[in-house]
Structure 1
Amino acid sequence: MSLNEAPLLFGFEVESSENLTYIPMCVRFNLDRFGLRVSLAQWQLLPWEDRRLLARFPVDEDVEIEPNFDHALFEMLRTHANVEPEWFEPDPTPAWRDVNAVPDGIAHQASLAGMGAPGVEAWARLAPFQRYVLAKLARKPESNHDFAPAMREFGLAAQA
């Protein structure tokens, strides 16, 4: 598997992540898959080209990701920040993988945003990465400013 030609950014991320100041969802996805945590401060210590490279790694669930993501991240952080990412045990069955049930946090975030939660059929039609993104954006009880734009971008709410 090869790297994407450019960082994979959703439309709702462009304003905040286009310059890679913030950690884009594609990097968050791979961090979660490998069980790695980096702080925003650590991310921002990396040179732009390193952040861009990490944002080009694939996000496909049904294929083996290049094992170079975690190695690249370790070397970049050691070189530029003299730190290592924190390890955690990834959830082997995250809620976003279940196409038969919409995670509770999604309904809560939709309610906070004044929109309806997607039904199970709409949830199942989403690509795995889109389900991951919505679940990630909905994980905290307070309103997430990117949730409604993501719902609209993924075709789950009327465009405002």
Structure 2
Amino acid sequence: MTLNAAPLLFRFEVESSENLTYIPMCVRFNLDRFGLRISLSQWQLLPLEDRRLLARFPVDEDIATEPNFDHALFEMLRTHANVEPEWFEPDEAPAWRDINAVPGGIAQQAALASLAAPDLEAWARLAPFQRYVLAKLARKPESNHDFVPAMREFGLAAGA
């Protein structure tokens, strides 16, 4: 198992995660990848060191590369919260993987923020994890406070 040296947080997350009080995007990615769902209250029941460890897991799409995230999460939740995560069937072809179409939610979030949505070329240049983050932040119809900072950090909006 190859963990990152430190929790994998974007600059826009450092302040909003409030020292891992909220579930960071790297953990959300792995939850979605493995088809696991936990509540914010379950996340917050975990000791800070466990949350830091979960945030150090790689964000690689290949489950065979890192099969231990789900096992670690199960053990931590059983030990500290006496609960298990909820299972769901992961999306086989999420919109963020498609470099030939920018998901509609991203255009909607960009419009809410008076920004231009990324064009196909800019979308395709993003790393897969960055595309995941933008799609995740844009999944709801209301404005997301992290969307504009993420667009800036990824070089898609002024002020990057």
Band the TM-score falls in, shorter-chain normalisation: over 0.9
Aligned residue for 2:151?
A: 151
Instruction: Give CA deviations for 1:72-101 in whole Å, capped at 9, x if unaligned.
Output: 000100000000000000000000000000
Q: Give the corresponding residue for 2:32.
A: 32
Alignment of 1:128-139 (within 5 A): 128-139=128-139
| Residue in 2 that maps onto 1:94 | 94
**How many angstroms does 1:63 deviate by?**
7.0
Which stretch of the first structure deviates more once superposed, 11-20 or 36-45? 11-20
- AA of the residue aligned to 1:52: R
Deviations 1:41-72 (A, max 9, x none): 00000000000000000002257332110000
Q: Deviations over 1:104-132 (max 9, x none)?
A: 00000000011000000000000000000
* 64-73 vs 45-54, which moves further: 64-73
Q: TM-score, normalised by structure 2?
A: 0.97
Give structure 2 stretches of 5+ with no counterpart.
none
Which residue of structure 2 lines up, in the alignment, with residue 45 of structure 1? Answer: 45
Q: Gapped runs of 5+ residues in structure 1?
A: none
Correspondence 1:106 to 2:102: no
> What is the distance in 2 between the residues matched to 1:50 and 1:157?
34
TM-score by length of 1: 0.97
> Letter of the aligned partner of 1:47 in structure 2?
P
**Kept after mapping to 2: 8 A contact 1:38/1:86:** yes
Q: Percent identity?
A: 86
